[in-house]
């Protein structure tokens, strides 16, 4: 060991808080909102609302990654400026 203290990334707690809020909100919507909006006998409605909620949480999580960490968005292409040309 070199004896220098370990440097902590100051954005890590902010990133984790955002992650917790996004996925905690996702879980709360699945537990509290979907049963109220979709009738109990409508299985297709439950599945569609659950998929829509999950997609929204995933997109928010990717945007949070991009905003806090600077991780490129998966749909932004390699350079981030122009999309890849079709094959």
CB 78 within 8 A of CB 84: yes
Question: For residue 9, what are its two tokens?
Answer: 């990334």
- Helix then strand count (H, E) for the chain reads 3, 0
Alpha-helical (H) ranges within 29-67 are: 34-37, 43-64
Q: What are the pLDDT digits (tens) for 41-84?
A: 988 989 999 999 999 999 999 998 888 877 777 776 655 455 55
The SS3 of residue 82 is coil
The domains of the chain are located at 12-72
Q: What are the pLDDT digits (tens) for 48-59?
A: 999 999 999 999
CB 57 within 8 A of CB 25: yes
Asked whether the whole model's pTM tops 0.95, one would answer: no
Q: Report how far residue 77's alpha carbon sits from residue 48's, in angstroms, rounded to the nearest whole number.
A: 28
């Amino acid at each position: 060991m070199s004896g220098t203290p370990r440097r902590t990334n100051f954005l890590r707690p902010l990133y984790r808080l955002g992650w917790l809020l996004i996925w905690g909100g996702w879980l709360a919507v699945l537990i509290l909102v979907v049963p109220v909006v979709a009738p109990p006998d409508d299985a297709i409605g439950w599945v569609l609302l659950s998929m829509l909620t999950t997609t929204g949480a995933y997109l928010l999580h990717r945007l949070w990654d991009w905003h806090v960490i600077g991780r490129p968005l998966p749909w932004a292409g390699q350079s981030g400026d122009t999309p890849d040309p079709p094959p």
